[in-house]
Amino acid sequence: MAEVTLTNVSKSFGDTRALDNITMTVPDGAFVVLLGPTGAGKTTMLRLISGLEHPDAGDILIDGQSVVRDTPAQRDVAMVFQQYSLYPHLTVRENLAFPLRSPVLRTPKDEIRRKIDEVAEVLSISHKLDNKATELSGGEMQRVSIGRALVRDPRIFLMDEPLSSLDAKLRADLRVELKRIQASLGATILYVTHDQIEAMTMATHVGVLDSGTLIQFGPPREIYERPVSQYAAQRLGLPRINLLPANLFPGAPPGAVTIGLRPEQLIQGEGQESTVVRVEHLGDQSRLHLKLKDHAITTLTDVHTLLKPGDSVAIAPSSPLYFDAGGTRIE
Amino acid sequence: MSASPIDRVAKATPPKLARKIRGLSDRTIAWIFVAPSIFLLLAVNIFPLIWTINLSFTNFKANRPGREIKYIGLRNYERILGDSDIWLTMQATAHFLFWTIALQVLIGFTLAWLINRKFKGNDLWTTIIVLPMMLSPAVVGNFWTFLYQPQIGLFNYVVSFFSGVDPSSFSMLGEVSLAPWAIVIVDTWMWTPFVMLICLAGLRSIPDYIYEAAAIDRASKWRQFWTITLPMVLPFLMLAVLFRGIENFKMFDLVVQLTGGGPGSTTELTSINLKREAFEKWRTGYASAYAIILFVTVFGLASIYVKALNKVKER
């Protein structure tokens, strides 16, 4: 397992600046989740570390050694591609065996067999091992693609939205399983996702990307509680953070333009009166959609709430986040 | 309101005919539509085949229409299969088939592989390489006879330039040992582009991300070629071999133009031999039996091959 360091890495595709001067250190054994909308540069970052792309500027180090001149094979990384990238003419078993059959490894036959069976068990694809890769459903393909990374023992795992096309139950199972594998192997993982639950539950570190720049890098709790900007604050938290004009509530510090309120930062039962628009009972929680002076607010409330649309609820902020005109958070 | 095409056709149909058509079932109408094609197929394909089978059991000669036609059983077949000259033409055909296909697949695949590496101007190169295929075989045969000319031929000149042999000391088309290779060279020159195009289609069908996955899986370029490129192009390659095999089994124009089957009968391929039997010696019954034997051979080989091809595709 290994530490990964990016120093001043930039990459452009034609006129598009995919990554702009990124500096980041992924500690050995970290589970780093990269967050950001499509086009933020998440996949490009994985491809640069894997060696499928070369940076225009900057250096990439694995365990302190510069790897920018190395081939993907020399870097010894495993990657789960978003589009599965299975070998269509091979069976599932052959797909899983492919990385192990590398002449560099010289893995004995029964060892290959044992590893494949083990990984297939974890990903519940044992019954599909002799199928051709093209005969699988999307979710099964994605699991095989994860399996192809897991059979190896690489220095770094790179995963590009590996759970995105799975159904909810499988996703929850594999989330736990991936976390367990990471803990038991002590693996270093870089993981791209849109899913905040994956980010919050699996990550030891989160990197927030915005059109090619790294906005913030740190433990998920830190990013949740102390986001550097409005943009970073919006990446985590469900329901999403409510962003309202700062003057809506008293007590805003000078320069504050926007107030950010997460559900737990809204005290109900005191302060200003708002109107209930809608109540969503989700079972383990209830979501409350409120309206305060024409501003929509979403928060959580008691599971057994008796509130109905039209009722009024008093709300007040409690240690909220404040942002200035440029979106930067004010301490 | 503008009438739909159906309405317009319906209105344009004379009432008398319309009344007749209205009484027909869908099935009948379907038959009416298909009938012309079926009739043509029967007239130009099936009937001649049956007629040829029939003639193959007779001593019929087409240049003696008045003569009585005698059924002689399997005598034609016995004579053909016992004739050592025919086995020589079969050998010449096999030699021609084997070497043209082997060379065309090898060179065609290599060219496709080179063209597929996206370099500047590869479209132009593709066009240039494909040119020979677009020429008429008669033209190709004609100008290669000039290239093979011992005194003035460019081919002999180039060979002598590289090997130092006197260019007029050998004649590609005139010597028994060289003529079979002369026709292989010309056919390869003309038809390698075809194999290249099919291989190129195969290579382009392999998505880049598969190679990316293989690079991550630490497969060397060499291993990527053997485990990904070749297996995925194989169905295309086999299709090219099938096309070339069928085409060259009935090879006629190019070789007639080049050697006319000579010297002696060293380049007399079966199709040329057959034409000689049928339309120079006018042994129609005999030639019919010959044609049937070839038909069965090609049909048998082709169906075995297509089965193998399907198996490869399923993999």
How many C-beta neighbours within 10 Å does residue B71 have?
A: 11
Same domain, B46 and B81: no
Same domain, B97 and B170: yes
pLDDT score, position B194? 95
Which residues of B fall within a CB distance of 8 Å from A52? 212, 215-216
Q: Quick check: is B308 in a domain?
A: yes
Band (A189; pLDDT cuts 50, 70, 90):
very high
Total structural domains within chain B = 2
Contact A160, A80 (CB under 8 A): yes
Residue in chain B closest to A156 (alpha carbons) equals B216
Burial class (CB in 10 A: 0-12, 13-18, 19+), B229: buried
**Domain boundaries of chain A, sorted by first residue:** 4-234, 242-330
| Cα separation, A18 vs B209, whole angstroms | 19
How many C-beta neighbours within 10 Å does residue A124 have?
A: 14
Check CB contact under 8 Å for B210 and A85. Answer: yes
- What is the span of the domain harbouring residue B17? 5-55
Q: Quick check: is B169 in a domain?
A: yes
Same domain, B50 and B164: no
Same domain, B223 and B103: yes
Contact A160, A46 (CB under 8 A): yes
CA distances from A65 to B188, B269, B307 (A): 52, 66, 54
Please spell the DSSP secondary structure of A51-109, one letter per residue.
Answer: TSS--SEEEEEETTEE-TTS-HHHHTEEEE-TT----TTSBHHHHHHTTTT-TTT---H
* Residue A146: closest CA among A133, A157, A134: A157
pLDDT score, position A183? 84
Same domain, B158 and B127: yes
* A83 close to B (CB below 8 A): yes
* CATH label of the domain that carries residue B156: 1.10.3720.10
Q: Quick check: is B64 in a domain?
A: no
> What part of A 1-60 touches B (C-beta under 8 Å)?
50-52
The neighbouring-strand residues paired with A266 are A317
Calculate the CA dihedral of residues B268, B271, B277, B282 and round it to 10 degrees.
-140
Same domain, B148 and B14: no
Options 3.90.245.10, 2.60.40.1180, 2.40.50.140, 3.40.190.290; CATH for A242-330 is 2.40.50.140
Contact B172, B148 (CB under 8 A): yes
* Same-fold call for A4-234 versus A242-330: no
Tens digits of per-residue pLDDT, A142-174? Answer: 889 989 998 888 889 999 988 887 888 888 888
Helix H or strand E encompassing B135: none
Same domain, B43 and B80: no
Residue in chain B closest to A148 (alpha carbons) equals B217
| Cα separation, A73 vs A270, whole angstroms | 61
Q: Quick check: is B61 in a domain?
A: no
CA distances from A230 to A236, A259, A319, B13, B107 (A): 11, 9, 16, 74, 61
Check CB contact under 8 Å for B218 and A102. Answer: yes
Band (A16; pLDDT cuts 50, 70, 90):
confident
Same domain, B177 and B45: no
Query: Which residue ranges in chain B fall short of pLDDT 70?
Result: 1-3, 315
Q: Quick check: is B65 in a domain?
A: no
Check CB contact under 8 Å for A73 and B210. Answer: no
pLDDT score, position A105? 67
Contact A86, A142 (CB under 8 A): no
The rounded mean pLDDT for chain A is 88
- In the numeric block, the tokens 């539509």 are attached to B33
- Three-state DSSP class for B32? helix
- Contacts of B71-76 with CB under 8 Å at 24 or more apart are B72/B285, B76/B285, B76/B286, B76/B288, B76/B289, B76/B290
| Cα separation, A73 vs B68, whole angstroms | 81
| Residues of chain B in Cβ contact (below 8 Å) with chain A | 209-210, 212-220, 223, 227-228, 231-232, 315
pLDDT score, position B68? 82
Buried-exposed string B168-191: b where 16+ CB fall within 10 A, e elsewhere: eebbbbeeeebbbebbbbbbbbbb
pLDDT of A331 strictly over 80: no
pLDDT score, position B189? 95
Distance of CA A132 to the CA centre of its chain: 30
pLDDT score, position A2? 85
pLDDT of A197 strictly over 60: yes
Same domain, B270 and B167: yes
Which residues of B fall within a CB distance of 8 Å from A50? 216
pLDDT score, position A101? 83
Nearest to B210 among A87, A104, A105 (CB): A87
Residue in chain A closest to B218 (alpha carbons) equals A73
Helix H or strand E encompassing A320: none
Which residues of B fall within a CB distance of 8 Å from A105? 218
Nearest to B209 among A71, A72, A83 (CB): A83
Contact B279, B271 (CB under 8 A): no
| Cα separation, B214 vs A78, whole angstroms | 11
Same domain, B104 and B214: yes
Same domain, B48 and B164: no
Band (A1; pLDDT cuts 50, 70, 90):
low
pLDDT score, position B96? 94
Q: Quick check: is B122 in a domain?
A: yes
Tens digits of per-residue pLDDT, A252-309? Answer: 888 889 999 998 898 888 888 888 999 998 888 889 899 888 888 899 888 888 888 8
Query: Does the domain at residues A4-234 carry the CATH identifier 3.30.360.10?
Result: no
Same domain, B49 and B81: no
